Structure 1
Amino acid sequence: MGKKILDSKALYVVLSIAIAVVMWFYVTSMDGNQASKPIRNITITFSGEEQLESNGLMIAGDAPSANITVKAKPAVLAQLTDKTVELVVDVAAIERAGDYTLAYTVKLPSNISASQVQIINEGTGNVSFTVAEYRQREIELRGKFEGTTAEGYLAGDQEDFVFSPNKITISGQAELVNQVSYAEVVVTGENLSENVRGDFPYRFIGASGDVIDNLDVECSVATVHTTFPILATADIPLKVELVAGGGVSLDQVTCTLSQESLTVAGSKTAVEAIQSEGSIVLGTIDLGTVHDGDVITFDIAITDELTNISGVTQVTATLDLDDSLKSKTVEVTNIDCISPPDGWAAKALTQMVEVEVRGSQELLDAVTPDKIRVVADLKDINQAAGQYTVTANVYLDSVGTRDQIDVVGRDYKIVVSLYRA
């Protein structure tokens, strides 16, 4: 079998042709014969773009391309391709936007000299392109939540988005850059119960609020680190603390609030902390200072870690006292001053004070003026001779306990005269 192949005339013919071709390439490369070939779609390279940018200009659109034909020895020709040959246009002298047609320069690989290659331009040797105004500007970032939260949780507001960086820089053709109003980060997710954190892409929004797709501009970053809160919520009871006094015990008063609870939102930790307290205490009411039907207004105060999502900022407390409670006014003349500063003496100029007393009718009947004392403590009075209006304490002696019968009010005042002892 092998002998038949060696004896085949066809094999010898193929080998002869191959050897001839190889010898031809060798001889033509050695004897200086030149050949030519076209190089297609060479992308134009622009020089002087830094100067162009300093003039507020830029090359608009994709870089153009051109075709050339080169003639050289085969060994040189093999090294010339659209990747190794450059066509360069100098744009440094351009000072205004517009359409331009300029000649290009052929740049050969560094290991090939111009004397080795003949360049044959296909066409005029010029290339046309557009120069546009260049602009760079910072763009505001905004967030948009398009997900859902788990039951008992609430998504934050738009202003709760936190971005890093907090702005992005875009640059490019001025008419394209000017289309952008702001950049928007969209956060999604289903049944969220944790804060959202991560690197998110953004999209450009125009002045009309529409999304701008495929805008040909350069951006300082591709993604933005975004944090967005998912808040826990809870209904927290409201209450007012009552202090017995003025002849009113805690079981002799009904306190009705205009708002029984408050819905708050915040981090899980903050919400769990206020839930563990059981309620929000609006304030304290001294029953010795109120009357039946009084309405007292309280501001709702919560920590900065929580948000009041009910929207109610004030609560009123209406007080209803037991019908068994009665009151009467007693004219008291037992008035005294105590604890004047060292070296000073004082006397009460007020001769009579009307004092309200409240309790059961039986105990009220036992109250006489001599059982009530009005006493002004002067230890903190200004040490200068003169007359002063001061607050006095009123004492009810030997009638009953404070939650059975007591003086109503804490703001009794008298006028005293202070003089050197």
Structure 2
Amino acid sequence: MKQTSIMRKLYNSKAFWLVIALLASLSLWIYVISQETEAYKQTFRGVKVELVGEDILLNSRNMVITDRSTATVTVEVSGPRRIVGSWSSDDLIAQVDVSKLTQPAFTSLQYTIKFPDGTDTSSLKTGLKTPETINFMVSAQTKKVVPVVGSFEGSVAEGFTAENPEFEPSTITVSGPETYLKNISRAWVEFGSQEINSTYSVDAPYVLLDEEGEECSTTGLSFSNDTVKATLRILSVKEIPLTVDFIEASGASSANTKVTVEPESITLAGDTAILSAMNRISLATIDLSDFETTYSDTYLIKYDDGLKNLSGMTEATVTVEIVGLEGKDYSVDQENMSCINVTDGYSATILSESLSVRLRGTREQLEEIRRENIRIVADLKDYNTSVGQYMVPVKISVDGFADVGAVGDYTISVEIRKE
């Protein structure tokens, strides 16, 4: 009973429980301290590799790093549990110092592990590393200018045509390792997807292609432009007839003249305002008195410089046939020749005694004409005060036969004297 009483007093004593609490706290403190300082080992996988000094390598020696063997490493770190155990792989960085490299070459370098800022590294130890080194290529940095080409992926409305796509800028400067640039041949742009009937422009991205049309990687490269302005100019299209104009003469008119033009028309593309005002292209003005019944010649097809010839034909052949008329030769005596517009104080003497002319008309008209009906007139208005002998162009008319005229050009010899 006495012992039980003693134990009861002890359990009810505040001092007893104070001592027990103190002992428990001390034990816990000792346990925590032992855990914090206990050596702890952890393997970190996927630690990011960082190259230090790339800017120095580029700016000072114009070299870059390519073909790096790996982007992450696995590393074993030992140290206090409270430190090492609180980290993940994202907290560590495997650093490779490339700032002291001086020559382009295949290179292997060891790396160091960078711990979070503020870490006391005196109690840390780096163990097994996989891999132990980082392999890479040190390459000379260079530039290459490649043309920008591409295609419009939409459609052009009926009645319109598109010129070749235009790109601004027309070239792209690609900077990077020489080994990366050697296969790049062009920058390729694909733009647009809708139907259009007016000029279309858009800022578009591009890809790099090699000679075979395969896409090239852009890793490790930089560019003078990230996008280009792609423009597709749209032109109106119109078929324009080809024609000729006539100077009617010597019985020939549009009523009895047959004309063939080959080709009959061409297709032009250009500004809508210009094309809408064009209904035909006149190839030439043909004087129907220059030939008897048939004529053929080739003419250049001329049009506004701002238009494009989609047909591709630059010349047209014109054939003219006068129907229902024929020719006949006549000899005209001097007495049917005369001069007009002789300058005052001067005289004109016709020296030609006769002139052979060919008239055109219907057969019936030509059979009725006599040489006395034919008049030959030399106009001297342009000779003013000239003196001497001249071959003067003449005009020929036929009295009583207005639809009959001479074919070709004629001159007579005239002597001009001052009185």
Counterpart in the other structure of 2:410: 412
Distance 1:370 1:191 in 2: 71
Counterpart in the other structure of 1:379: 382
Counterpart in the other structure of 1:368: 371
3-state DSSP of counterpart to 2:95: strand
Counterpart in the other structure of 2:361: 359
Matched-pair identity in %: 24
Q: Number of residue pairs matched? A: 386
Could you tell me the TM-score, scaled by structure 1's length?
0.72
3-state DSSP of counterpart to 1:175: helix
Distance 2:38 2:379 in 1: 127
Counterpart in the other structure of 1:58: 64
Counterpart in the other structure of 1:7: none
User: Which residue among 211, 215, 220 is the counterpart of 1:212?
Assistant: 215
Counterpart in the other structure of 1:254: 258
Distance 1:293 1:95 in 2: 85
Counterpart in the other structure of 1:93: 101
Counterpart in the other structure of 1:399: 400
Could you tell me the TM-score, scaled by structure 2's length?
0.72
Asked if 2 retains the 8 angstrom alpha-carbon contact of 1:332 and 1:353, the reply is yes
* Counterpart residue type for residue 407 of structure 1: A
* Counterpart residue type for residue 241 of structure 1: D
Counterpart in the other structure of 1:294: 295
RMSD between aligned residues:
4.5
Asked if 2 retains the 8 angstrom alpha-carbon contact of 1:204 and 1:213, the reply is yes
Asked if 2 retains the 8 angstrom alpha-carbon contact of 1:53 and 1:134, the reply is no
Asked if 2 retains the 8 angstrom alpha-carbon contact of 1:183 and 1:203, the reply is yes
3-state DSSP of counterpart to 2:284: strand
3-state DSSP of counterpart to 2:172: strand
The 10-residue stretch of structure 1 (222-231 or 63-72) with the greater mean CA deviation from structure 2: 63-72
1:33 to 1:387, Cα distance in 2 relative to 1, 3 A? farther
* Counterpart residue type for residue 236 of structure 1: I
3-state DSSP of counterpart to 2:239: strand
* Alpha-carbon shift at residue 170 of structure 1 (Å): 1.7
Distance 2:383 2:94 in 1: 96
Distance 1:420 1:130 in 2: 103
Q: Which runs of 5+ in 1 are unaligned?
A: 1-15
1:113 to 1:148, Cα distance in 2 relative to 1, 3 A? closer
Counterpart in the other structure of 1:127: 134
Distance 1:68 1:344 in 2: 126
* Alpha-carbon shift at residue 250 of structure 1 (Å): 2.4
* Counterpart residue type for residue 164 of structure 1: E
Counterpart in the other structure of 1:11: none
State yes or no: 1:138 paired with 2:131.
no
Distance 2:338 2:112 in 1: 113
User: Which residue among 235, 249, 253 is the counterpart of 1:245?
Assistant: 249
User: Which residue among 148, 158, 172 is the counterpart of 1:151?
Assistant: 158
3-state DSSP of counterpart to 2:101: coil
* Alpha-carbon shift at residue 172 of structure 1 (Å): 2.2
3-state DSSP of counterpart to 1:198: strand
State yes or no: 1:305 paired with 2:279.
no
Counterparts in 2 of 1:272-287, with a 5 A limit?
272-274=276-278, 277=279, 279-287=280-288
Per-residue CA distance 1:239-273 (angstroms, 9 max, x = gap): 22223112223212222222322222334444433
Asked if 2 retains the 8 angstrom alpha-carbon contact of 1:86 and 1:108, the reply is no
Asked if 1 retains the 8 angstrom alpha-carbon contact of 2:251 and 2:405, the reply is yes
1:397 to 1:324, Cα distance in 2 relative to 1, 3 A? closer
Distance 2:312 2:379 in 1: 45
Distance 2:102 2:127 in 1: 24
* Alpha-carbon shift at residue 354 of structure 1 (Å): 3.0
* Alpha-carbon shift at residue 60 of structure 1 (Å): 0.7
